[in-house]
Amino acid sequence: MKALLFERLVHRFAAARLVSLVAGSGTGIGVAPLRLGEIDPPSLPGANWHRVAPRLSGICGSDLATLDGTSSRFFEDIVTFPFVPGHEIVGVVKDGRHTGKRVVIEPVLSCVVRGIEPLCPSCAAGRTGSCERIAFGHIRPGLQTGYCADTGGGWSDELVAHDAQLHLVPAGMTDEAAVMVEPAACAVHAALVGQVVPGERVVVLGAGTVGLCTLAAVRHHTLPSALLSVAKYRVQRRFAEDLGADEVVAPSELGRAVRRMTGTLALASSGGAIDRLAGGADVVFDCVGSARSIAESLEVVRPGGRIVLVGMPGTVRVDLAPLWQREVALVGAYAYGMEDVPGGPRRTFALAFELVAAAGLERLVSAHYPLERYEEAVRHAANAGRRGSVKIVFDLRREDPAWRRTAEPVAKKRPTPRRDEKLETSA
């Protein structure tokens, strides 16, 4: 089958890191340890596993960090090489009782998926995203589909998924909407982790896919008195307004905007620029995850407020003095599981399906690419905002893929391997 394979080639990883750090995200794709080729489909690891043919698979910020070589070494023990990336997936089941049906994959490889009993405390509590056994069980380590050598990933013609990972797509839902369910689930979880009390003032920092989905989720699941979005690019501003932001500001306007929103005082330097707020927002969702965004979150959150880290951070250098002095809570929001919502606990993915439909998140899918144009796709994803886009997906539909209708002819930056050519792996 055709797949993009990410290998453990340290020299290429280092080269990609160097290039991306110098020239920006996505620029190192030409030297990154990612290759398009023909590989054997993954084996079914056991009963209750099924073959799934991806139809659309998104390029996520965490994928870009991996390809840029900037992701944290924290993940080294919870991924296995070589792996096929892609964890935002809508596909078609190829076997079993759901054969021919479209499904969204819930990619977390938790206890149930791994055949581990009894369940770890997190899984037992429904917090599968926090599974304590992601390196154990009958499949190799991997926190998610798309980071595990045994399951395959969405950037291919086929992967394997456990029953517990499958969510049937309603008949009326487009593939574009369905592929947004996984990022929407992350956003729903983050919004609920934020525990926004009605009437609180909320900031969503960043307006890429994660930021916009989080904005929609906060608007959908909570009742803030003011919801401020920080967006860098015009397309992001427009979507943020549409998805319910009360105000959308540029990054440079953040301090002033939060001061206005909260009516707090500010500590200003002699030049008059705002250095720090005396009070601030009740909850800040950092959907970027950089040192700068964490620092900015600390600058604009009120004493005793909460910062929810939604965007994937790496190794960052941040002054935590304000976190200490102002007793700010910094909490991560990763993946999904079960959520406590009015009416009783529900799976995050079920809520995400509803959010995608209610907020019309399928409109965030901006461009489709075939796997063959993966370098172009990755560069586009890395510069999505600047290029007027949000979510970039690989379109693997054999019948009438969108890229065939809309995209430019395939630009072969690198010779495509023959179908019978298999990539060498260093597993």
Partner 1 sequence: MSPRPGFVLEVDRSTPPTVFWHGEGFRFERLPEGSRVVYPPEPLDGLVDPEASIRHALEHPLGDSAPLSALLKPGMRLTIAFDDVSLPLPPMRRPDIRQRVIEAVLDKAAAAGVDDVVLIAALAIHRRMTDDELRHALGDRVFDAFAPHGLLQQHDAEDPGALVHLGLTDKGEDVEINRRAAESDLLVYVNINLSAMDGGHKSVATGLASYRSLRHHHNVKVLQHSRSLMDRHHSEMHSSNWRMGRLIKAAGVKIFQIETTLNLDMFPSQFNFLQKREWEWSLADRAGFHATRLSLDRTPPRLARQIFQSMLSPYAVTSVQAGEVEAVHDVTLENLHRQQLVYVEGQTDILTMGLPYLCPYNVNSIMNPILVACLGLGYFFNLYRGRPLVREGGVCIMSHPTPWAFNPVHHPSYIDFFEQVLAETTDLVEIEKRYEESFATDPWYIHLYRTSYAYHGVHPFYMWYWCAHALQHLGAVIIVGGDRAAVRRMGFKPASTLADALEMAEDVVGRNPTITHLHAPPLLVADVS
Instruction: Return residues touching partner 1 (CB under 8 A).
Output: 247, 249, 253, 256-257, 259-260, 263-266, 268, 270-273
Which phi and psi angles does 143 have, rounded to 5°?
A: -75, -25
Instruction: Report, in Å, the least distance between residue 272 CB and partner 1.
Output: 3
Q: Which of 334, 373, 393 is nearest to 90 (CA)?
A: 393
Residue closer to partner 1, measured from CB, 38 or 247: 247
Instruction: Report, in Å, the least distance between residue 371 CB and partner 1.
Output: 40
Residue closer to partner 1, measured from CB, 256 or 326: 256
Residues 6+ apart with CB under 8 A from 179: 56, 57, 58, 88, 89, 90, 104, 365, 391, 393
Residue closer to partner 1, measured from CB, 121 or 199: 199
Confirm if 334 and 309 have CB atoms less than 8 A apart: no
Residues 6+ apart with CB under 8 A from 398: none
Buried b (16+ CB within 10 A) or exposed e, 342-380: eeeebbbbbbbbbbbbebebbbbbbbbbbbbbbbbbbbb
Instruction: Report, in Å, the least distance between residue 299 CB and partner 1.
Output: 15
Instruction: Report, in Å, the least distance between residue 259 CB and partner 1.
Output: 6
Residue closer to partner 1, measured from CB, 163 or 241: 241
Instruction: Report, in Å, the least distance between residue 250 CB and partner 1.
Output: 8
According to DSSP, the residues that pair with 230 across neighbouring strands are: 205, 249
For the chain, the straight-line distance linking the first and the last C-alpha, in angstroms and rounded, comes to: 18
Residue closer to partner 1, measured from CB, 272 or 344: 272
CA 208/CA 213 separation, integer angstroms? 8
Residue closer to partner 1, measured from CB, 9 or 277: 277
Instruction: Report, in Å, the least distance between residue 194 CB and partner 1.
Output: 24
Q: Which of 314, 316, 310 is nearest to 334 (CA)?
A: 310
Q: Please give the DSSP secondary-structure letter assigned to residue 28.
A: G
